[in-house]
Homo-oligomer: A and B are copies of this chain.
Amino acid sequence: MPIVDMLWSGWGDPERAERLPAAVTGLLRELLGVHAEPAPPVKLAEIEPPTARPVAGILAEVVGEEQVRTDAESRIRHTRGKSTPDLLRLRAGDASTAPDAVVLPGSHEEVAEVLSRCAAHRIAVVPFGGGTSVVGGLTPEAGDFTGVIALDLRRLDRLVSVDTISRTATLQTGMRAPRAEELLNEQGYTLGHFPQSFEWASIGGFAAARSAGQASAGYGRFDEMVLGLTLATPRGTIEAGRSPRSAAGPDLRQLVLGSEGAFGVITDVTVRIRPLPETHAYEGWLFPSLSEGVTAVRALAQDGPLPTVLRLSDETETMIGLARPAELGAHQGGGGCLAVCGYDGTAAEVAERQAKVRAVLESLGGVHQGEEPGRSWLHGRFAAPYLRDGLLDVGVFVDTLETAGFWSNLSRLYDAVRLTLAHELSSSVVMCHVSHVYPSGASLYFTVVTAQGEDPVERWRRAKAAVSDAIIEAGGTISHHHGVGVDHRDWFAREAGSLGVEALRAVKDRLDPDGIMNPGVLLPRS
Could you tell me which A residues sit within 8 Å of B by CB distance? 163, 165-168, 209-212, 221, 223, 227, 233, 235-240, 242-252, 254-260, 272, 298, 302, 403-409, 436, 438-443, 475-484, 488, 492, 495-500, 502-507, 509-511, 522
Contact = CB atoms under 8 A, between A and B. Distances in A.
Contacts of A507: 503, 506-507
Contacts of A302: 167
Given A243-B404, A407-B165, A477-B243, A495 B248 contact: yes
A272 B496 CA distance: 21
B440 A244 contact: yes
B272 A440 contact: yes
B244 A439 contact: yes
Nearest to A253: B254
A405 B244 CA distance: 7
Contacts of A256: 250
Tell me the number of copies of this protein. 2
Contact of A406 (B166, B248, B484, B505): B166
Nearest to A475: B242
A167 to B, nearest CB: 6
Contacts of A442: 244
Contacts of A257: 250-251
Contacts of A235: 499, 502
Given A248-B477, A249-B259, 13 more contacts: A165-B406, A166-B440, A238-B503, A242-B475, A242-B476, A243-B403, A243-B480, A245-B443, A246-B479, A247-B480, A250-B259, A503-B510, A506-B509
A167 B506 contact: no
A243 B405 contact: yes
B212 A245 contact: yes
Contact of A168 (B244, B247, B406, B443): B406
Contacts of A477: 242-243, 246-248
Contacts of A475: 242
A203 to B, nearest CB: 16
6 contacts: A165-B407, A168-B440, A248-B258, A248-B478, A254-B255, A503-B507
A70 to B, nearest CB: 32
Contacts of A166: 406-409, 440-441
